[in-house]
């Protein structure tokens, strides 16, 4: 069996920037074990799989170690590749996912993703955070009853840029991913972030769309703004726009294609 494989960089207009993700379009779903094995072999932060379904596509995302319920950059890559490589001609795509129906639209080269807003609440700061990250955050936030991600706020973008986490200690924290964020002073944006998730096979994610479903409502409240510019200051780096619309977050960015190939099973 041969399966098409594509790879693109998300939240960047320059090749080798942003966050790479793979897409494997399928005629029908393979066994979960096969999907996970392909993702592990690709060894990217995310591999997306789609199957055509009625007026849209079923969409699932896998890290090298686990399936995840929501992924922004791989959704952006999937939409980009549907429009540029797979012949999709509509101006809007409906994706059916474990996080509900997600709508993605395009305006020129810019792709807009309509995601659920997940406002985090302040939670007690774990003493282990300072050890894991090498410096103590100001405060911590999380979505109630959700252990996927917590937000750790720092006093400056420079502090976030200088973090050198102990990945084993980060993996042992209460939440599977740690979003480290601060005001965007010096980076010409409203806020910056970095994302560490060694517990699910991603030491540092380059640009994390799903993290901004927490970050956008958090910083919208702090800065009293509905439209925000964001930078993820990982080594590859990336940029996105966030706009809060009630219980939804619009995430905007661009992508560039890197690879076309085949998986031989």
Q: Which residue in the list 41, 46, 92, 126 is annotated as catalytic?
A: 46
CA distance 259 to 7: 5
Cβ count within 10 A of residue 100 = 11
Count of CA atoms in the C-beta half-sphere (13 A) of 42: 32
- What is the three-state SS of 194-250? EEEEHHHCEEEECCCCCCHHHHHHHHHHHHCCCEEEEEECCCCCEEEEEEEECCEEE
DSSP 43: T
The alpha carbon of residue 180 and the mean position of all alpha carbons in its chain are separated, in whole angstroms, by 14
Q: Is 134 left (phi over 0), alpha (psi -120 to 50) or beta?
A: left
The alpha carbon of residue 26 and the mean position of all alpha carbons in its chain are separated, in whole angstroms, by 22
Q: Is 243 a catalytic residue?
A: no
Element (H, E) at 178: strand 177-183
Instruction: Give the active site residues.
Output: 46
């Amino acid at each position: 069996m041969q399966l098409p494989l594509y790879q693109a960089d998300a939240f960047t207009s320059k090749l080798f920037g942003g966050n790479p993700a793979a897409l494997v379009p399928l005629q029908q779903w393979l066994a979960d074990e096969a999907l996970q094995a392909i993702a592990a072999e690709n060894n990217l932060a995310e591999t997306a799989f789609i199957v055509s379904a009625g007026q849209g596509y079923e969409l699932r995302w896998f890290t090298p170690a686990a399936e995840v319920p929501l992924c922004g950059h791989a959704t952006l890559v999937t939409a980009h590749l549907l429009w540029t490589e797979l012949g999709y001609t509509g101006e809007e795509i409906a994706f059916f996912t474990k996080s509900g129906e997600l709508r993605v639209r395009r305006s020129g080269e810019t792709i807009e993703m309509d995601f659920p807003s997940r406002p985090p609440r302040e939670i007690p700061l774990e003493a282990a955070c300072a050890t894991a990250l090498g410096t103590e955050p100001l405060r911590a936030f999380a979505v109630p009853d959700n252990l996927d991600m917590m937000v750790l706020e720092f006093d400056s973008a420079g502090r976030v840029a200088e973090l050198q986490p102990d990945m084993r200690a980060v993996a042992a924290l209460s939440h599977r991913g740690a979003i480290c964020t601060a005001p965007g002073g010096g980076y010409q944006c409203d806020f910056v972030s970095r994302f560490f998730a060694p517990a699910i096979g991603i030491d540092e994610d380059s640009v994390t769309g799903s993290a901004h479903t927490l970050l956008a409502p958090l910083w919208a409240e702090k800065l009293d703004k509905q439209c925000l510019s964001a930078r993820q200051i990982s080594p590859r780096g990336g940029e996105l726009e966030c706009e809060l619309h009630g219980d939804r977050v619009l995430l905007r960015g661009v992508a560039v294609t890197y690879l076309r190939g085949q998986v031989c099973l």
